[in-house]
Structure 1
Amino acid sequence: MRLDKFLADVGLGSRKEVKQLIKKNLVKVNGSLAKDGKIQVNEKTDVITFDEEPLVYQRFFYYMLHKPQGVISATEDKRDETVLDLLADTDFRDDLFPVGRLDKDTEGLLLLTNDGQLAHQLLSPKKHVDKEYFAKIEGVVTEEDIRCFKKGFPLSNGEMVKPSQLFIESVDEVKQCSTIRLIIQEGKFHQVKRMFEAVDKKVTYLKRLRMGSLVLDERLELGEYRQLTDAELNSLKPE
């Protein structure tokens, strides 16, 4: 690949910015100063250094984030803190983005990556990727609700939701509240909240537990993140 692409991929800046680094004699290839970003390098065998520090090539990055409430699923925002603001300076990259959205007041699993192809695999409705949530509900969830969710039904605006799997974890008849797990394969705006509103109930707490084969690492505190393991990444990618 071209040297300027290598340098951009490892996070030193845009193609234009890394050319300036080369002009400042900060980049070496196999011990020799690089003079042109267009030269071809082998990312596996060539030794490429920036300011005398060796660079290890990595094109794609994958982080599992335990998203807290109050943070929005966006790459930038002028008012609110974003999920990318939670990354350490050493991990931040301009090309990272959240795969799908979690509402501002929703917690749980969020994948951050710069791999657009994987994001498409996880988000495309045609791929039927499960998204599992835990929720606290104001109201008593019933077997009738389970049957309704299993068939699919219209939301208050008439928009149809596809069949989903609803599981009752607990019910408190006195306090008139419930805890549930829900598995859906769509990602409509405020979908889980709107689904329960359609059956005259209210979501008071929502947390995503799983996306496809990727399960939230409960050892991560709210706001913490880690890189995906090789096993997790391999399980997400299609055969």
Structure 2
Amino acid sequence: MRLDKFLAEAAVGSRKNVRIYIKEGMVKVNKELVTEPSMEIDENCDVIEYLNEIVSYAGKLYYMFNKPAGCITAKTDEIHKTVFDFLGEAGTKGIFHVGRLDKDTEGLLLFTNDGEFEHKVMYPEKHVEKTYFFWALGSLSEEDKNQLEQGTYIGQGKILTKPARIEVDKFGVYEDLKHEMATNNVNNINSNHHTQPVVSGYLTISEGRKHQVKRMLKSVGCYVIYLKRISIGGLALDKSLEKGQYRSLTELEIQKVLGNL
């Protein structure tokens, strides 16, 4: 393994920063000062020191997190609570979030220190599917569903969204379904709320454009009031994981994310 990769994965710093540390003489390998970031080392046998402290190697880490609404997907923030505030010691091990979820979106968020894993999950050409459950104000006709599945315009320019899958779960009026709705975010329900049409369902996409699910549904006249990501690839959110909790992924689950099973 390259020395700079080892130090980055051991949470000494970012790949860019550890290269600087190495070149400035802050790192030793087997008691010898080294200044070449690309030096190959044996992470299982060699003794690596940074500022005269032995660096332990945790290896590649993968976590599943059940994100609650109200926190942002970021390392730090001066105003809002972040997802890293829930991770405790795990958040100090050089991990980063794989993609992101909006502040008011709940559900499955992955963390890792494996850049190759992130690339395979997040890049559109890899076609890793993400499925979301939603409640929205509005209704979905067959024409609307066809438009979402075939591709729709969600902003300026002439780029269609990639083909998606939509499954309607429940539909009706707010007064009849309010006891089933997973949200108190009803600020946009009009004064005649008892007749306001509402719909819930599942939308599966293989891209990650900003606010994509909300914008796709808005393009067919639906205003999302609750959103939860329930799966990535073949990996479903663990139902026993409470909001704000996380756990390590098993090897089997890692392969499910990547579509290898």
Q: Tell me if the contact between 2:233 and 2:258 (Cα under 8 Å) persists in the aligned partners.
A: no
Secondary structure at 2:168's aligned position in 1?
strand
Q: Provide closer, same or farther for how the CA distance between residues 234 and 129 of structure 1 changes in structure 2, counting only shifts above 3 A.
A: closer
Helix, strand or coil: the match of 2:91?
coil
Matched, 1:234 2:230: no
User: What's the offset of the Cα at 1:69?
Assistant: 0.8
Structure 1 unaligned spans of 5+: 23-28
Cα distance in 1 for partners of 2:146, 2:213 equals 16
Q: What is the letter of the counterpart of residue 65 of structure 1?
A: F
Structure 2: distance between partners of 1:148 and 1:183: 14
Equivalent position of 2:62 in the other structure: 62
Whole-angstrom CA distance in 1 between matches of 2:8 and 2:151: 46
Give the equivalent residue in structure 1 for 2:31. Answer: 35
Q: Which residue of 2 aligns with 1:25?
A: none
**Structure 1 residue 47, shift from structure 2 partner:** 8.7
Per-residue CA distance 1:44-73 (angstroms, 9 max, x = gap): 357999xxxx98633321111101111111
Partner residue in 1 for 2:193:
none
Q: 2:208 aligns with which of 181, 187, 190?
A: 187
Q: In the alignment, does 2:240 pair up with 1:219? A: yes
Q: Alignment RMSD, CA only?
A: 3.3
Shift in alpha-carbon separation, 1:148–1:62, aligned structure 2, 3 A: same
Corresponding residue number in structure 2 for 1:204: 225
Q: In 2, Cα distance between the equivalents of 1:153 and 1:4?
A: 43
Aligned to 1:163: 163
- Name the CA distance, whole Å, in 1 between partners of 2:200 and 2:93: 38
Query: Structure 2: 5+ residue runs without aligned partners?
Result: 176-196
Matches within 5 A, 1:47-196: 57-88=57-88, 90-93=89-92, 95-155=94-154, 157-159=156-158, 160-173=160-173, 175=175, 176-196=197-217
- Looking at structure 2, the residues matched to 123 and 8 of structure 1 have their Cα atoms a distance apart, in angstroms, of 21
| Partner amino acid, structure 1, of 2:206 | Q
SS of corresponding position for 2:90: coil
Structure 1 stretch 147-156 or stretch 163-172: which is displaced more?
Answer: 147-156
Contact 1:137 1:203 in 2 (8 A): yes
SS at match of 2:117: helix
CA drift of 1:83 comes to 1.3
Q: Which amino acid aligns with 1:128?
A: H
Task: State whether residues 63 and 249 of structure 2, in contact with CA within 8 Å, keep that contact through their aligned partners in structure 1.
Answer: yes
Give the percent of matched residue pairs that are identical in Structure 1 and Structure 2. Answer: 41
Q: 1:111 Cα deviation (Å)?
A: 0.4
Residues 2 and 37 in structure 1, CA contact (< 8 A), matched pair in contact too: no
Instruction: Output the CA distance in 2 between the equivalents of 1:43 and 1:105.
Output: 41
Closer, same or farther in 2 for the Cα pair 1:42/1:171, shift >3 Å?
same
1:121 match: secondary structure:
helix
Shift of 1:116: 1.0
TM-score of the superposition, structure 2-length normalised? 0.73
Deviation at 1:238?
A: 7.0
What TM-score, normalized to structure 1? 0.79
Residue number in structure 2 paired with 1:26: none
- Kindly provide the amino acid, as one letter, of the partner of residue 168 in structure 1: V
- Are the aligned partners of 2:11 and 2:92 in contact in 1 as well (CA < 8 Å)? yes
Asked if the contact 2:11/2:94 (under 8 Å) is kept, the reply is no
Whether the aligned pair in 2 keeps the contact of 1:60 and 1:114 (CA below 8 Å) is yes
Q: In the alignment, is the contact (CA less than 8 A) between 1:84 and 1:97 conserved in 2?
A: no
CA contact (8 A) 1:6 1:57 kept: yes
Checking the alignment, whether the CA contact within 8 Å between 1:156 and 1:198 is kept in structure 2 is: no
1:135 partner amino acid: F
